[in-house]
Every structure is written in structure tokens, then in C-alpha cells.
Amino acid sequence: MSLKVAVLVSGGVDSSVALRLLHAAGHSCTAFYLKIWFQEDFENFWSECPWEEDMRYTKAVCDQVDVPLEVMHLTDEYWTNVVSYIIDEYRHGRTPNPDVLCNTRIKFGAFMHAVGGMKFDFVASGHYARVVHVNGDKKDKPSTLELSKDIVKDQMYFLSHLSQSQLKRLIFPLGCIPKEEVRRLAQIFDLPYQERKDSQGICFLGKIKFSEFVARHIGEAEGITSSWGSLVRRGERC
């Protein structure tokens, strides 16, 4: 059965292979690139914003199979629901995970809300995890989030806060595929950037370290040294 699928693409190999797999399976796909970088008038001291390069890669892979590509601007939502929240939490001594928040509140939160009227059957991405849906007349049963086949690349932790309403609308085509196979598929699909390195940073920071970002916004202060730390420095033992 052909499905209508909204596919989140980022310019990386994983999301591109996910898109191509869904397209090859005969599904009607629309690719969406989420632009969450800060607006031009924001004092963004990180100057190397890679979204233009990401967009070039994304457009190239969509053009290969004539999949429509839409750019969705969620900068304000990202600043309000992720960035400013993180800054405030760190200011109070708490350390939320930015990627967990991004998945819950933006990729599968604000984005899902924005495309809610477009009648997509599912939303897909290149995450390494599996969502198991109950078929037939048991649709009232919960969908479950499970480990991907590639335990090293598994991203279930970063998706662990998703609600049932979010999970029921998701599919992860790479959940049953190890990373080495994804790279091989990228070659088979002749992706224009099949050897591109994986992104390891937090999505809104680019090449700036998270510690530098936090220090910029909440400042730096000397921490409290414990008595145990003092003993260790003096070489003493209890």
C-alpha cells in the first residue's frame, strides 16, 4: 500500500537514505528541511552556519528522484522551546539534553503540528530506532519504541520522551539497518555526498562547543571545591 509520507531531511547520509528507501518502496514522499538557525539580526557569535551547504546536499538528493522539497522555518519555535529553555535550566543548575528537547518539541512537535493539515500518513526521519505499530483492529494498542539493529548508532534515548500521539505517526526506515549497510545503500543510490561525515554536534551550535555557548549566555563562576577534592589534591587518604 502506498503511503503519503513527510520525510525530515538534514543534508546528511542517514536522512537521505531513509528518503530514498521510502521512495523506492513506492511511497509518495515530500521532503522537509527544518531551518532552525537563528535569524540574521540575532547576535550569533558562531559565524560558520552550515545550513546553506546542507540545503545544497538536500536539494541534490531530492532532485535525483523528483521528490518535492519544502523548507520550514521554525527558528522562533526552536528559540522559545529549546534554546531559551536550556539557558534558563542551566542558570538554575539543571542540565536538560538539547537533542531530546529538539526531537520532542521541534522535529516531532512543532513540525508535526505544522503539517497536521496536509494529510500525511506518517512522518519519517533517518533516526536509528524502531517504532512498532499494531495493525488491524488493535489500533487502540500503544505503539512501542525499540532499539535499532545497530546498537552503536541507536538513538532510542534521544527519542525516549516522545508521546503516543507522536509515536503513532512515525516511521524510521533505518531502524533495521546497520550503519555500514546505510553507507552501502548510499553508494547504490549514488547519493551526491555518500562519504559525508556524520554530524556529531548539537544542531543549533555548528562548530561552537556547548560549554562556550552556555558560558556566553549565563557567564562563568568558580565552583565549590569539596573537602574530598582538597584531600585528593594533597595526596591524603581517608
Q: Categorize the per-residue pLDDT at 193 as very low, low, confident or very high, splitting at 50, 70 and 90.
A: confident
- Higher per-residue pLDDT: 43 or 34: 34
The answer to whether residue 238 is catalytic is no
- Higher per-residue pLDDT: 214 or 194: 214
Helices 179-188 and 13-24, interaxial angle, to 10°? Answer: 60
User: Quick one: what percent of the chain has pLDDT higher than 70?
Assistant: 79
Q: Residue 236: which region, alpha, beta or left (left: phi > 0; alpha: psi -120 to 50)?
A: beta
The closest alpha carbon to 25, from 153, 138, 134, 173, belongs to: 173
Q: How far apart are CA 230 and CA 238, in angstroms?
A: 12
The grid cell for 68 is: 518535492
What was the pLDDT predicted at 85?
92
Whether residue 67 is predicted with pLDDT greater than 70 in this model: the reply is yes
pTM of the model: 0.84
What domains lie within the chain, and their CATH numbers? 4-233 (3.40.50.620)
The answer to whether residue 176 is catalytic is no
What was the pLDDT predicted at 214?
76
Asked whether 11 and 34 are in contact (CB, 8 A), the reply is no
Ranges 20-34, 41-55, 88-102, 103-117: which has the least confidence:
41-55
Which one is catalytic: 49, 62, 203, 238? Answer: 203
At 162-191, the pLDDT tens digits run 999 999 999 999 999 999 999 999 999 999
β-partners of residue 8 are 32
Which one is catalytic: 29, 102, 176, 238? Answer: 102
What was the pLDDT predicted at 138?
64
User: Quick one: what percent of the chain has pLDDT higher than 90?
Assistant: 59
Whether residue 39 is predicted with pLDDT greater than 70 in this model: the reply is no
